[in-house]
Amino acid sequence: MFIQEEPMKKLTELGCDWVRGDSAISRLKATVTDCMESDYIAKGDPHLVSLCVWSFVHGLVSLAIRERMEKFVPEKEMVLPVMKQSLHWFVNNLETRPAGK
């Protein structure tokens, strides 16, 4: 999934389902929906917000896998803590009210 060329096409060619990936996406959407319903984050399109969260995490992991974090985190042992802090900041800064209110 991370920085592979056309992984979904390959799964289709092999006649495989992406069971774990589909399960992870479904769980993320359910969690986002629960957070919206509990007013932890602003109500909106759960698919869009899930895509934003997925993309954010995917970007962090991709940078770490390809060893591109050194521009942001000079000490290699600090990569994981910085990634966790980044995700924490992202989640804590999702709006808890609709835009414009």
For residue 68, give the 3-state DSSP assignment.
coil
What is the pTM (predicted TM-score) of this model? 0.76
Alpha carbon separation from 41 to 32, 57, 58, 59, 84 (Å, rounded): 8, 18, 21, 22, 19
- Here the tokens at position 97 are 């009210």
Residue 85 contacts residue 60 (beta carbons within 8 Å): no
Which has the closest alpha carbon to 63: 14, 9, 8, 3?
3
pLDDT at 90: 92
Q: What are the φ/ψ torsions at residue 87 (nearest 5 degrees)?
A: -65, -40
- The tens-digit pLDDT sequence of the chain (101 residues) is 556 667 777 778 888 887 888 899 999 999 999 999 998 888 899 999 999 999 999 999 988 888 888 888 988 889 999 999 999 999 888 877 655 55
What local confidence, expressed as pLDDT, does residue 21 receive? 82
